[in-house]
Amino acid sequence: MVRLVLVLGDQLSPDLSALAQADKARDVVVMAEVRDEATYVRHHPKKIAFCFAAMRKFAARLRDNGWDVRYSEYDDTHNAGSIVGELLRRADEIGAAEVLATEPGEWRLIEALNAAPVPVTILPDDRFIASHQEFESWAKGRKTLRMEYFYRDMRRKTGLLMDGDKPEGGQWNYDHDNRKPAPDQVDYSGPMQFTPDATVEAALDLVEAEFGDHFGHARPFWFATDQEQARRALTHFIKHALPKFGDYQDAMLDGNRFLYHAVISVYLNAGLLSPLEVCRVAEDAYRAGDAPLNAVEGFIRQIIGWREYVRGIYFLEGPDYPRRNALSHQRPLPALYWGGPTKMRCLSKAVEQTRDEAYAHHIQRLMITGNFGLLAGINPTALHEWYLEVYADAYEWVEAPNTVGMSQFADGGIIASKPYVSSGAYIDRMSDHCRACHYDVKTKTGQGACPFNLMYWAFLDRHRDRFSGNPRMGNMYRTWDRMDAGKRRVILDEAEAFLTALSNGDPV
């Protein structure tokens, strides 16, 4: 009997497990642009346009390869509006009684498929290097689940940057070489950009008509939308940017949104590129002498280390993970995250870039928008939903652990051994934002004091009972305790005044 083969918008890989288990001569592929997926959060228009255009092209590729594909565009009259609804409609249309699906990357979709009134066989998503069982076995019995040790196992498993049974160069991690401040000049033109073709233009027209009130704009649009383009974008990065990626991966510049970053996560997370494919190309560049070890190791670690690790955490911890709030932070998300006026240069530039590009690199997310959210006590669920809405590479399996765990410490320390908080000094060291800021990063209190400086100490004071015994935070508390009591009172009062103004909607 004919079966339906579900292919989701982030599963655009020809070797998808559901396709591998299906019979091309008999089974029917179902793909659909549905209201539920486009609106469960108010996704950035660029993300929706990317997904729709890439899905349409992938469907055409499957048809060219002999598959029977039933594809529903968003504005099709008979579109049921949900993945399960479309499966039921197609099952009734062709007489199918079973569905093959590759496991979705979000618990809500897994639960929807499990509750569907048609039998759904959910197959493992073997595009990842570590299976759920592997990660669970690695995690079992460990007091702490630190990424570094998991990453070493992934190096051994894949053989990437290995010299026999030892790491290339004698070290597993070269992160200490990858923290240089922003350079005076960047000799890289940025990620490869693609002119929209007819398929992309049609998707852009639809998105502008249907989602024009979402944060951000669909145009201008330059993302790759098929495997060939994504591979060209990867090749461009490897050749022109990877050699300096490591040195400056944490840096930020007012006038350069990309520095030496690859900007391929949107392609990886949608399935247009595979993690091993990307890592092998980077390793080849090192072996050929075209990129230094610190850059290649740092790049590979983000993919087979961090990316695989956060997926493992997401599925290990279960469906409630995105709603955790270990620090009981409840402040609503301020308007400045949606482009509201702010005098803080670093925040305004990060949000502006996010609005325009549906992209910001990891330090902008962690140490500017994330750091501010944690110091200000913003509700981590609200911040989690913001990240999910505004970035083109955001799917819950990867976004929630990065936000809830790494950025906001809302999981209580499963991912991070301490909160990732900093004063303005870190931002000043790693960027040029502070030079043109209304606030003075070197002013600790009084007129023009950098809000990061005030909120940093207020955060430590507010959460002293939880963190004062943390061995990685002892020096911070000793510094705070050495301050004159009057100075501490001024800092706390000024921090409270700033946060009150933030809550009142005043420009800060």
Q: Would you say residue 177 has pLDDT above 90?
A: no
Dump pLDDT digits (tens) for 324-369.
999 999 999 999 999 999 999 999 999 999 999 999 999 999 999 9
Residues 268 and 145 in one domain: yes
Residue 329 maps to a domain: no
- Report the Cα–Cα distance between both ends of the chain, in Å, rounded: 63
Mean pLDDT of 45-74: 98
Residues 383 and 251 in one domain: no
Dump pLDDT digits (tens) for 183-208.
888 999 999 999 999 999 999 999 99
Backbone angles phi, psi at 158, to 5 degrees: -90, -25
Residue 362 maps to a domain: yes
Cα→Cα distances 65→14, 58, 59, 101, 487, Å: 10, 11, 10, 19, 71
Domain of 389, in residue numbers: 335-503
Residue 5's SS3 state is: strand
- Final residue of a domain: which of 317, 350, 379? 317
pLDDT band at 114 (very low <50, low <70, confident <90, very high): very high
Mean pLDDT of 144-149: 94
The confidence score (pLDDT) of residue 179 equals 87
Cβ(408)–Cβ(374) under 8 Å? yes
Cα→Cα distances 81→11, 85, 87, 168, 325, Å: 19, 7, 11, 50, 32
The Cα 103–Cα 126 span in angstroms is 9
The confidence score (pLDDT) of residue 218 equals 98
Model pTM score: 0.97
pLDDT band at 106 (very low <50, low <70, confident <90, very high): very high
The Cα 25–Cα 2 span in angstroms is 9
Residues of the chain above pLDDT 70, percent = 100
The Cα 90–Cα 321 span in angstroms is 33
The confidence score (pLDDT) of residue 175 equals 87
pLDDT band at 391 (very low <50, low <70, confident <90, very high): very high
Cβ(80)–Cβ(88) under 8 Å? yes
The confidence score (pLDDT) of residue 176 equals 86
Residues 51 and 108 in one domain: yes
Residues 165 and 143 in one domain: yes
Dump pLDDT digits (tens) for 419-456.
999 999 999 999 999 999 999 999 999 999 999 999 99
CATH of the domain at 78: 3.40.50.620
Mean pLDDT of 271-275: 98
Q: Would you say residue 1 has pLDDT above 90?
A: no
pLDDT band at 182 (very low <50, low <70, confident <90, very high): confident
Residues of the chain above pLDDT 90, percent = 98
Residues 367 and 256 in one domain: no
Backbone angles phi, psi at 120, to 5 degrees: -120, 120
Domain count, the chain: 3
Residues 167 and 296 in one domain: yes
Burial class (CB in 10 A: 0-12, 13-18, 19+), 341: exposed
